[in-house]
Structure 1
Amino acid sequence: GNDKVYLRAAPGAIGRALAATAAAAPAPPPVVTAVREPAGADGFNQRGYVRLQTNDLDGAAADFDRAAALNPHWSRPIANTAIVLIHRGRYDEAEAALARAAALDANDFVVPQGRGMIQLARQRPIPAIVAFSRSLELDPGNSFTLMQRAIAYQQAGDLDDALADLDSILSSQPNHKGALAARARLHAWRGEADPALADADAIVAQDPHDPAALYQRAEILRRIGRTERANAAYAEALAALDARAAGAPARAAEYDELRSLIYSASGQTARAIALIDAQLAHRADDPTLLNERCWARATANQELNLALADCEHALARSRDDPAILDSRAFVKLRMGQYDGAIADEDAALAHSPNLPAALYTRGIARLRKGDREAGERDLAAARRLAYDIDATYRGYGVTP
């Protein structure tokens, strides 16, 4: 379900939208935004910011470069260039750009904000919190910075302060979907069922026919143990998907990933597999679809030999893909092939060191081999990145 996207950074626009509050989640695809040609440095910086928000990183970088060239004494476009570099994972270059921006204006709030993002990406929550706090001193109430600091608090295990930051966002922006989703998940983890459901309801209230919002509510209901209501909510989400697809037949295929997620989350594995089978009939070697089918079977603990074959096929087409390696490792874990699971997660983590699912699966495999110290270390690292990962894997029937 949503957890797969949240923990494994799986591809797909719908999945990305569902994972908007996850630290490791990839950004949505670029959106072409028609903006009049700017006249000066401020205009180029503003257009760059718009492009950054829509994940047009190339366009944003070009605009920030133009703004910096037009006003070389202004810190902001240089700091914004650093943010682009952070989104691209180029942290050393981003740090150098932030240092240049700070030399021009030590009180530019984007400088500590960017530094906090780098520390967060490097799993250093305490210095990240310090940096975000400094940014908030310079720009109080900035919702993006508060969201980032909430994630840092979660990594540090300080869920009370994470909740306080989410409360701060929602006190001024009560319809902030990212904060509502994050707070709902936090409440659910803490066993606070009614507040969790209230936040999920608030997301749905903004668009009662949005399949993604309905799916989020179903996931929260499942998390808080209200199984009957969760199943009804999954059915409601599927009905909303059907309505959207009927209203725009040309776009019906765009909803297949979300439909597959809902089928898997609600225990309808056969329907999830059938849906992916239909897609594979047209794209037989698509590694993403093969991985989806592997994962659907693996999490349901069904037909593990077929799941393994799908993962092998996917890796033949997309070698060294961390999400596929993690899927194969999980299959091997369920098959009792602990050495193979550890080897696959070693490879996944070599490419994506902050993948919570890989750390968690490797930790369990190590525990089952009797390597308690290394196993507990992996599990602790996974929980820092995804505080509620135990609940996710418990839903798959897997516990340390």
Structure 2
Amino acid sequence: MRLSTKLLITAAAFLAGGAGIYGFAYHLYPPPSVRDRQSATPAPAPPLSAPPGPSVDQLYDECVRGAWPTVKDADVRAAACSKALQTRQLKPDQIALARLTRGIARTALGDRVLAAEDYSEALKHYDGAIDPRNPDSLNLYRRATSLHAMGETDRALSDYGDAIRVDPSNSLAYLGRGVLLATRKRSFNRAIEDFDKVLVLQPDNVDALIARGNAYSQLGDNGRALADLDRAIQLAPNNAQAYVIRGLANNRRGQKQLAMQDYDTALRYAPRYSQALANRAALLSEEGKYDQAISDLDESIKADSDNPVAYYNRGYAHFAKHEYAKALADYDAAIKLEPGMGRAYNNRCLIRAITGKDLVAGLQDCDTAQKLMPLNLDVRDTRGFIYLKLGDPRLAVKEYDDALDVDPNRPLALYGRGIARIMIGETREGEGDKAAALILDPEVAQQFAPFGLK
């Protein structure tokens, strides 16, 4: 018996909640204290006897300068932010931005618990700093980013909208709202409208090109998607996320080899990029290169231990190698992280049926999978198989009938029904089902035989 469900591809996360596809929060809008410092008369040089080492201003600048942190610079940025905060010499607005930036860096590093603490502290500051009678667009945007990262989608959308109303030229807010609409609401057309506005204001905004390219790809508009992603890579040839998103776009249009090349390139620029590793592993598994896939997934999970897709795909690879205990542990982890992952329940049910352990729990898994994916025929096949293992062929026949009513050419369902019919005495009908299944797939019998089902 083989897994009949597909491998999953994990999208490269945008925003503070992932790899950091965000604009230049500091570069475009330096805080007032930094603007003042930039325009002030240069301070006299320190005496020669002064000990070497970066000043508070230098540490803060290293923390917040430029775009939000990405997987490529998250280590360095998080360390700089920590050092700046440890000086205890930052002003309240600087503390908030440093904590928000460190939260984004920590998220990119997979440390979501500490990141959540940073987001929470940043949010407290912006809640107190924003005057509802005269709100500041940049602070609204930063509060929206904190809310977005914490999963408070509706409040974040409201703040992005308010930031835009206060300053219609705030490209960061358009970009943030567009990303949220695409990733949390899956409103790709509305997201594209926001990305269009960013690109009117900043025609070479790489983040907006990547995000719009991803949205077009999700809608199946491959031409526009690849045009945006190719342009982003032309502008920023070392941007790992651009390659991952283009890899996703190529995979969606069936160009597996091009997708693999994109993931390989992304990993040359960012070797610990969790989504790139997980997606490359999915393609390796499809090619039957399970050891290589597991190696990639081990590294992906080290970089981001909260990605359920990585555990699911590693479980798939372990299953293919008949390493059922390891596969079961991975499906347990995937379900713990994402309780609504129906495919993981289905595969865990199958493993329990194959090993003959916890068959009742396996049936419960199949029931849950069916509730989550009522139209998925793979679940019907798995339920039929577990009923065979439980010694209840009549219920197995019903499951296989339901699958074959939708698709009469399913070899697994035909052969399984054939076995079940023979078990209840309908030998002629059962042999007919098995013969039909063998015509469709000459190897189908080999999938049942190791489990004592012929």
2:67 is aligned with 1:21: no
Q: CA deviation at 1:134?
A: 0.5
C-alpha distance 295-176 of structure 1, shift in aligned 2 (>3 A) = farther
What does residue range 140-159 of structure 1 map to in structure 2 within 5 Å?
A: 140-159=203-222
| Cα distance between partner residues in 2 of 1:193 and 1:236 | 17
| Cα distance between partner residues in 1 of 2:311 and 2:207 | 30
Name the SS for the 1:83 alignment partner: helix
Partner of 2:364: 312
2:282 is aligned with 1:219: yes
| Cα distance between partner residues in 2 of 1:193 and 1:242 | 22
| Cα distance between partner residues in 2 of 1:101 and 1:25 | 18
| Cα distance between partner residues in 1 of 2:220 and 2:313 | 29
**Which letter does structure 2 place at the counterpart of 1:128?**
A
2:91 is aligned with 1:39: yes
Structure number with higher helix proportion: 1
Name the SS for the 2:208 alignment partner: helix
Count the aligned residue pairs.
310
- Structure 1 or 2, whichever has the larger Rg, is 2
| Cα distance between partner residues in 2 of 1:89 and 1:157 | 27
1:33-73 Cα deviation digits (max 9, x unpaired): 62425325356335424424534331332343355369965
Partner of 2:141: 79
Name the SS for the 1:135 alignment partner: helix
Partner of 2:158: 96
| Cα distance between partner residues in 1 of 2:312 and 2:150 | 29
C-alpha distance 44-279 of structure 1, shift in aligned 2 (>3 A) = closer
| Cα distance between partner residues in 2 of 1:254 and 1:23 | 15
Contact 1:295 1:327 in 2 (8 A): no
Contact 1:293 1:307 in 2 (8 A): no
Partner of 1:163: 226
2:167 is aligned with 1:111: no
Q: CA deviation at 1:221?
A: 4.9
What does residue range 248-267 of structure 1 map to in structure 2 within 5 Å?
A: 261-262=313-314, 264-265=316-317
Partner of 1:387: none
C-alpha distance 241-157 of structure 1, shift in aligned 2 (>3 A) = closer
Contact 2:350 2:362 in 1 (8 A): no
- The alignment's TM-score, normalised by the length of structure 2, stands at 0.51
| Cα distance between partner residues in 1 of 2:280 and 2:140 | 40
Partner of 1:333: 380
Partner of 1:296: 347
Say which is worse superposed, 107-116 or 48-57, in terms of deviation.
Answer: 48-57
**Which letter does structure 2 place at the counterpart of 1:80?**
R
1:188-230 Cα deviation digits (max 9, x unpaired): 343445433321321343477999756543433566xxx3xx5
Q: CA deviation at 1:160?
A: 1.6
Q: CA deviation at 1:75?
A: 0.8
**Which letter does structure 2 place at the counterpart of 1:235?**
D
Partner of 1:368: 406
Partner of 2:123: 61
- The alignment's TM-score, normalised by the length of structure 1, stands at 0.57
Contact 2:346 2:379 in 1 (8 A): no
Name the SS for the 1:122 alignment partner: coil
| Cα distance between partner residues in 1 of 2:167 and 2:93 | 16
Percent identity between the aligned chains?
A: 21
| Cα distance between partner residues in 2 of 1:256 and 1:92 | 24
Contact 1:180 1:199 in 2 (8 A): yes
Partner of 1:195: 258
Q: CA deviation at 1:145?
A: 2.9
Tell me how large the CA RMSD over aligned residues is. 5.4
1:274 aligned to which of 325, 345, 365: 325
| Cα distance between partner residues in 1 of 2:276 and 2:154 | 37
Structure 1: which 5+ runs fail to align?
7-18, 316-321, 338-363, 371-396
**Which letter does structure 2 place at the counterpart of 1:156?**
L
1:126-153 Cα deviation digits (max 9, x unpaired): 2211111102333444443333222321
